Chains A and B, each alone.
Chain A
């Protein structure tokens, strides 16, 4: 459907501070409704609203970039962005859907589903620190997750190094560095969470938290030191299951840069209610 002159002018006026490629994509989208144009449109709208200092972060197009912490988008600015996205894409975004959007990746996935008319991704599986503490066998001061979420056979989690961790006093003297061994521990904990909370049938039933233990870890590389105030952004993916072993891959980012990677973390587990573990993947 070709745009009328008036409609195109209206669109150009409301997008006037967005990059030119965004405006062109928006005009094309009105005619073609091509979902592939949406990322260009949305990233350009976000760019128009964020402070110039964080625009380079935005241009990295990292799906894990967080709206509030990394881009400074507070709830009111978010509403401004939503209004312009709604107007440009001619869609309606509900308040409760909005609450699930925390990263650039969330926005892309959400809009992609919305435009294609697919079921919307939800954040039902986001766990707060309190919820984590209720689920995990690990507890403070040895729980290295502040927030986490599960998506099928993947889990994402974050831990903010407060600087008050007692071990930082001695690691190292007058130079607090978060230990690499604990980075692996944190990834392992996220894998534990994935086993306990995944709705996937991969584990063959409900995993009993008291049966999970560490077995081995291969292909570990650390790239960057982390210090107080840094946030570890972790992701683990289930690779395969040879019951009673489960193997995961894990990676940690901080400020968008790779901090550590573990190619294979193996954990042993058992099922609740005495069910037999069996090979399923």
Chain B
């Protein structure tokens, strides 16, 4: 098994598009929430708060009306095949690749693969099908399918960047980009690829977020300063966001040989499933606990060696309790690592969450801090006994875990250590 390291980070998030800015906002606990006008305009929508992505406006199905930074120019036929999430991902990918000191030519060879995660584009799927039913299939955009379906991310990126290694998209709801990261680790560790680009992305559109209202899992709290508050006793659901994050993973040997910047050693990962319910997590967090144990086993660490856990905790009543119980079953009483949920600052980015939070952990590790779990006024009694960080700790974690869980009871845990 080869060592795997992270050498590049590219961000398109509600906390900003630049590493320094995002790192600063994580450290200072500055959230990305606003009262989002499209929610306010429709009285049937019970929620008000969301975390939009600065610099991007994609809340229309006409891709020629989207606004985005000028650093990438798209040809019309390219734009017609993009979903909002694939648009953001272009920026995340190019930023990550340049952050890793690589060129377009470097990533277009048999040694570099691309794993992605997005749930496709609900907005474009709806728009294209509605048009098909209105005017018939022969008058629908020929690229409507490519832009809409889950897979849009890997289709678009693999073609645009001439990726020649292994390419695949992962769909496991809110653990999707965790699976993409996990299997990308395997590709390098098992010597199938020397370098993997992993991209998670999710549309920031009304159509992606609002359907969760029907499940009663979104916060109806109208106050952007307190709507998302994982581990708080009075939390009432999650807040939606979107965006894209790309990470460049390389074999440690290759990275050292070319003198690449190394954010962290990607030490291993684990996954396990609850086998319990289609949507709800296991009440005792059984699957998540097993995923953490498997991640620890793959790294060879003892639980006591973990400094920090970035929790999946989305700010729903049931989910946060499951995770507290899972953490308590893995880490002995009195030996809890620092735990926080950065979703208090960003909200829940669904398929993007896992890799976005992994990137936040890497920024904390390289910039010397563990972000606090913001917006807790009264700690949930279930979290007692865990070392939930209420403030940012100005100290780099040496070893950390990043948790993710998704529909169907899937759980993925990623493990990183200081290089």
Contacts and interface: CB of A to CB of B under 8 A. Distances in A.
B321 to A, nearest CB: 50
B139 A77 contact: no
A51 B78 CA distance: 12
Nearest to B140: A83
A76 to B, nearest CB: 5
A50 B64 CA distance: 13
How large, as a class, is the contact surface on chain B?
10 to 19
* 5 closest Cβ pairs, A-B complex: A79-B142, A76-B142, A83-B139, A77-B77, A76-B77
23 contacts: A17-B64, A49-B76, A50-B76, A51-B75, A51-B76, A74-B77, A76-B77, A76-B80, A76-B142, A76-B143, A77-B76, A77-B77, A79-B142, A80-B80, A80-B141, A80-B142, A83-B138, A83-B139, A83-B140, A83-B141, A86-B139, A87-B135, A87-B139
Given A49-B76, A50-B76, A80-B141, 17 more contacts: A17-B64, A51-B75, A51-B76, A74-B77, A76-B77, A76-B142, A76-B143, A77-B76, A77-B77, A79-B142, A80-B142, A83-B139, A83-B140, A83-B141, A86-B139, A87-B135, A87-B139
A18 B139 CA distance: 18
A51 B74 CA distance: 10
Contacts of B139: 83, 86-87
Interface string B122-156: 00000000000001001111110000000000000
Interface residues of A, number: 12
A50 B75 CA distance: 9
A17 B77 CA distance: 15
Contacts of B80: 76, 80
A74 B75 CA distance: 12
Contacts of B141: 80, 83
Interface in A166-189: none
B202 to A, nearest CB: 26
Interface string A43-84: 000000111000000000000000000000010110110010
Nearest to A75: B142
A83 B143 CA distance: 13
Contacts of B76: 49-51, 77
Contacts of A83: 138-141
Contacts of A77: 76-77
Nearest to B75: A51
Contacts of A86: 139
Nearest to A87: B139
Contacts of A80: 80, 141-142
Nearest to B64: A17
B417 to A, nearest CB: 47
Nearest to A77: B77
Nearest to B141: A80
